[in-house]
């Protein structure tokens, strides 16, 4: 898979599940990069006719034809394809958490993972870093195809920042709960997540876990450090004094886990674009550590496999400057009948290696449930839901 994938799309079909409303959007940008209202209308109406004939859309579907300054067009492309380092032979993982799913392999044994945590604690004690996000990578063969896997993932682990990307050479299946950046006009927001407890579905047990999480000094310290890091990142591109924290250490509940979340907001300085903001803040602090650069150096030293899309960002940039990106956690990559995904956690001075390892299993549970569900669906259908190989552009 490439390290980065960008596409410029001059037509979109947007479906609002809450309202049941479909909108065709055409920008009308031509080959010279200039907006053209007539071109936008023709291309939008062409799609409306085709989709109406196929009974995909009602004849009353709305057409939205914005006209702006335009941007140079390009085809979907790959940038910086470097390939992942393998880091040795994958190790089988056999745990009760993973029953019902295909056999999983990890790039680290439990002993190796805990040893790496102890190395990180040494770095923290030496003053190199305050916190590091460390992960392991799981891999499995599967008879289920990517679309079936994504359906199962959305069912087992529904989340507000989900995404499905068909990159041709593989598919990215994300069910992320975390926002990296949202930009609306001059307003910018990030919502870092730290602190995790598993949800069981038992109300009393989940309430107890929620109380423990809210009272955990370690988890609060993790989130406070990253909240401060994000304030600093936004401060590099925002008006002086505009960065603030409207929500600090709040509890949010998801299908399989509980999280602590903060919200950091600001107002972009004059002349700062959405691209400038992404450049200043990427990658997100919650999945690297603090200080960010040194944390990434230590991650590169200790994690045996390149992360790829994991802890990157998936989202969009509008021609009007609007942008929204997730943090690519709870994210699978499907290629040639196999999937891989990561799970990790934040390491601070009082982290316990054994508990940190267990936390990765809690976070992986939704992914594994999705694998098991997709395998069952594939068995019932009597065949493989193969990946589509649609051309990109």
Show which residues are catalytic. 178, 194
Q: CB of 226 within 8 A of CB of 194?
A: yes
Return d(Cα 272, Cα 291) in angstroms, integer: 24
Is the CB of residue 134 less than 8 Å from the CB of residue 116? Answer: yes
Contact 136, 107 (CB under 8 A): yes
For residue 177, what are the contacts with CB-CB under 8 A and spacing of at least 6? 159, 160, 161, 193, 252, 254, 259, 329, 330
8 Å CB contact between 69 and 288: no
> How many CB atoms are closer than 10 A to CB 301?
11
CB 139 within 8 Å of CB 338: yes
169 in helix, strand or coil?
coil
| Residues 6 or more apart whose Cβ sits within 8 Å of residue 311 | 133, 135, 283, 284, 287, 288, 327, 328, 329, 342
Residues in the chain: 393
Q: Are 237 and 272 in contact (CB under 8 A)?
A: yes
Closest CA to 392 of 12, 2, 8: 8
Per the CB < 8 A criterion, the answer to whether 231 and 190 are in contact is no
Core vs surface per residue 84-103: b (16+ CB within 10 A) or e: eeeeeebbebeeeebeebbe
Peptide bond into 291 cis (omega under 30): yes
Instruction: Tell me the β-bridge partners of 168.
Output: none
Instruction: Give the helix ranges, DSSP H, for 261-390.
Output: 274-281, 292-302, 353-381
């Amino acid at each position: 898979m490439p390290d980065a994938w960008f596409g410029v799309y001059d037509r979109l079909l947007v479906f609002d599940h809450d309202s049941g409303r479909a909108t065709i959007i055409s920008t009308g940008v031509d080959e010279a990069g200039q907006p053209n209202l007539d071109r936008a209308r023709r291309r939008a109406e062409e799609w409306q006719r085709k989709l109406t004939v196929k009974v995909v859309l009602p004849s009353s579907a709305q057409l939205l034809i914005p006209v702006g300054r335009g941007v140079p067009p390009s085809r979907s492309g790959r940038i910086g394809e470097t390939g992942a380092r393998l880091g040795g032979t994958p190790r089988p993982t056999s745990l009760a958490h993973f029953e019902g799913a295909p056999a999983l392999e990890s790039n680290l044994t439990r002993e190796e993972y805990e040893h790496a945590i102890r190395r990180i604690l040494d770095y923290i004690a030496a003053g190199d870093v305050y916190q590091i996000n460390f992960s392991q990578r799981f891999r499995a063969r599967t008879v289920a195809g990517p679309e079936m896997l994504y359906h199962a993932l959305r069912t087992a682990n529904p989340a507000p920042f989900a995404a499905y990307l068909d990159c041709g050479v593989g598919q990215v299946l994300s069910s992320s709960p975390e926002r990296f950046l949202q930009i609306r006009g001059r307003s910018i927001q990030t919502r870092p997540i730290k602190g995790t407890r598993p949800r069981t579905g038992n109300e009393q047990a989940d309430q107890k876990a929620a109380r423990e999480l809210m009272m955990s000094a370690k988890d609060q310290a993790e989130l406070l450090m990253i909240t401060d890091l994000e304030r600093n990142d936004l401060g590099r591109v925002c008006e002086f004094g505009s960065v603030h924290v409207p929500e600090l250490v709040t509890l949010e509940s998801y299908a399989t886990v509980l999280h602590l979340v903060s919200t950091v907001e600001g107002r972009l300085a004059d002349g700062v674009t959405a691209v400038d903001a992404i450049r200043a803040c990427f990658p997100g602090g919650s999945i690297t550590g603090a200080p960010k650069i040194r944390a990434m150096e230590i991650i590169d030293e200790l994690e045996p496999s390149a992360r790829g899309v994991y802890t990157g960002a998936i989202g969009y940039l509008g021609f009007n400057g609007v942008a929204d990106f997730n943090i690519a956690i709870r994210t699978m990559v499907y290629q040639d009948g196999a999937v891989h995904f990561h799970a990790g956690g934040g390491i601070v001075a009082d982290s316990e290696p054994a508990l940190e390892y267990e936390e990765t299993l809690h976070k992986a549970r939704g992914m594994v449930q999705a694998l098991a569900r997709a395998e069952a669906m594939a068995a019932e259908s009597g065949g493989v839901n193969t990946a589509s190989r649609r051309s990109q552009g």
